[in-house]
C-alpha cells in the first residue's frame, strides 16, 4: 500500500538527525513538524522569520499572526525567536541549516531539483526560498508522490522542468519508496508494498 501524506511525513521525521536545524518547505513537507518528537531536539526554521517553530496549531492555539511560510497557523516551542525576513534568508544562504525538506515536480537521478515551475504557459511560478534552501542546506530531502497526475514518474533521468538547483538533493521520499540520489545515480533504500522489479517497470 502506498503511504499516506501523514505516514510519509512520519517516515521523513524519523530520518532527521537529532538536534538539527531544519526548514520545511511549503505543502506536504510542513506535515513533518507534526511528527517530530521532543527527544529529537530538532529546531525548525521558517523563512518568514522564526526559529523553534512547533507543530500546526489547532482550536484555541491558533494565532493568525503566527504562521509558517505557507501561511498555516503553527505553535511555538520554548525558546522560539523571531527575526527579519532578510536575516532568515542569511541563515538559509549561509549554511546554517542542517536539513531542508522540499516538495518537487521532478528530481533527477543525479539530484537535480525542479520545484518552482512546470513551464506550462498558465502555471504560476512559485520560487519562494527554494533556490536558497537548495544550495544553502547541508542536506536536501524531497517529499513527493512518485508519479504526477498523468501517471508520469517524477524521479527522472534528467529534469525537463526549469531547475531550482543542480545536484543538490540527497534523498527522495515518495509514497511508494525512498531513494538516495547523487553522482552515482539512484539507490533504492526502502519500498512500501511494491517490489524493486515493479518499481523498475513503472519508472
Contact (Cβ atoms closer than 8 angstroms) between residue 172 and residue 109: no
Please report where in the chains the cell 523553534 appears, as a residue: 52
User: Which residue among the candidates 7, 39, 47, 197 is catalytic per the annotation?
Assistant: 47
- Distance between CA atoms of 169 and 113, rounded to whole angstroms? 7
The CA-CA-CA angle for residues 167, 52, 95, to 5°, reads 30
Q: Closest Cα to residue 154, out of 177, 128, 138?
A: 177
Cβ neighbours of 191 (radius 10 Å): 15
158 is catalytic: no
The secondary element (H helix, E strand) that includes residue 196 is: helix 196-202
Please report where in the chains the cell 523498475 appears, as a residue: 200
What is the widest separation between alpha-carbon atoms in the chain?
A: 49
Residues annotated as catalytic are 47
Amino acid at each position: 500500500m502506498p503511504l499516506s501524506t501523514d505516514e510519509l511525513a512520519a517516515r521523513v521525521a524519523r530520518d532527521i538527525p537529532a538536534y538539527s536545524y531544519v526548514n520545511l518547505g511549503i505543502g506536504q513537507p510542513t506535515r513533518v513538524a507534526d511528527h517530530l518528537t521532543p527527544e529529537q531536539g530538532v529546531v525548525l526554521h521558517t523563512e518568514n522569520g522564526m526559529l523553534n517553530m512547533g507543530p500546526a496549531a489547532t482550536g484555541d492555539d491558533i494565532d493568525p499572526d503566527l504562521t509558517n511560510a505557507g501561511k498555516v497557523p503553527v505553535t511555538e516551542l520554548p525558546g522560539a525567536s523571531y527575526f527579519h525576513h532578510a536575516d532568515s534568508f542569511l541563515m538559509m544562504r549561509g549554511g546554517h541549516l542542517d536539513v531542508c525538506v522540499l516538495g518537487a515536480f521532478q528530481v533527477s537521478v543525479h539530484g537535480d531539483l525542479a520545484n518552482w515551475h512546470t513551464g506550462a504557459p498558465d502555471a504560476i511560478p512559485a520560487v519562494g526560498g527554494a533556490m536558497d534552501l537548495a544550495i544553502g542546506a547541508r542536506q536536501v530531502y524531497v517529499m513527493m508522490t512518485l508519479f504526477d497526475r498523468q501517471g508520469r514518474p517524477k524521479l527522472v533521468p534528467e529534469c525537463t522542468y526549469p531547475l531550482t538547483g543542480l545536484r543538490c538533493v540527497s534523498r527522495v521520499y515518495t509514497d511508494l519508496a525512498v531513494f538516495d540520489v547523487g553522482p552515482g545515480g539512484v539507490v533504492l533504500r526502502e519500498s512500501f508494498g511494491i517490489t524493486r522489479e515493479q518499481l523498475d517497470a513503472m519508472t
